[in-house]
Amino acid sequence: KNQVEQSPQSLIILEGKNCTLQCNYTVSPFSNLRWYKQDTGRGPVSLTIMTFSENTKSNGRYTATLDADTKQSSLHITASQLSDSASYICVVSAGSTLGRLYFGRGTQLTVWP
Amino acid sequence: KAGVTQTPRYLIKTRGQQVTLSCSPISGHRSVSWYQQTPGQGLQFLFEYFSETQRNKGNFPGRFSGRQFSNSRSEMNVSTLELGDSALYLCASSPEAQQGTSAKNIQYFGAGTRLSVL
């Protein structure tokens, strides 16, 4: 069964600290994996997209890693800011069309001052 | 460049009614997709339209339908509303250089329409 599992479900960290969010998937065949950030009351915003051959991709303070062998991805946030408080959603594509996108439930990150 | 615009932002309906949601994609984007987001199920794919044709459909009942106009604007309709249809409905558009490759492109989401069914 194609599934995407994210952990932890929620996380609280202090401003300036680093954190890592996890995404494990059983989707097959694998096309790409993307991380989205969703602020409260807003639509998701794409952070990174990674294909099978990419194992690291950065977007500012966000760095995503992908291990296609173990089917795991992580999103590392460096020097967190209050504006990083959001839900982070991992999405895995099993093909070239949107009908084969599999969504994780998200990790709710809260950054405290 | 204006982003994806969804209207209305909030809706309150009662069971049995129908509702129409609207989405204006980013200029030049021909792929428009719709999603339902609930706390219990997370994001779920509803359907995708490209050049006025439905290209993909998720696992939702026939009460959920949509269409796309020649200017790429899209509407989603839900008939005979049920309590479980209460959700945030998101629309996304994406550029597509080659037809059939929508899942390889970045999707740009609107802010969503929050539907409450009483």
pLDDT tens for A6-27 read 999 999 999 999 999 999 999 8
**Per-residue tokens: A93:** 């594509």
Residues of chain A with C-beta less than 8 angstroms from the C-beta of B112 = 42-43
% of residues, chain B, pLDDT over 90? 73
| Tally of CB atoms within 10 A around B76 | 23
A36 forms beta bridges with A46, A89
Q: Does B100 touch chain A (CB under 8 A)?
A: yes
Residue B58 has pLDDT above 60, yes or no: yes
How far is the C-alpha of B116 from the C-alpha of B58, rounded, in Å? 21
d(CA A71, CA A50) in angstroms, rounded, equals: 13
B5 touches chain A (CB under 8 A): no
B17-57 confidence digits (pLDDT tens): 999 999 999 998 988 999 999 988 889 999 999 889 998 88
| Any A CB within 8 A of B110 CB | yes
* Residues forming beta bridges with residue B42, ordered by sequence position: B38
Residues of A in contact with B58 (CB under 8 A): 99
Checking if the pLDDT of A99 tops 80, the result is no
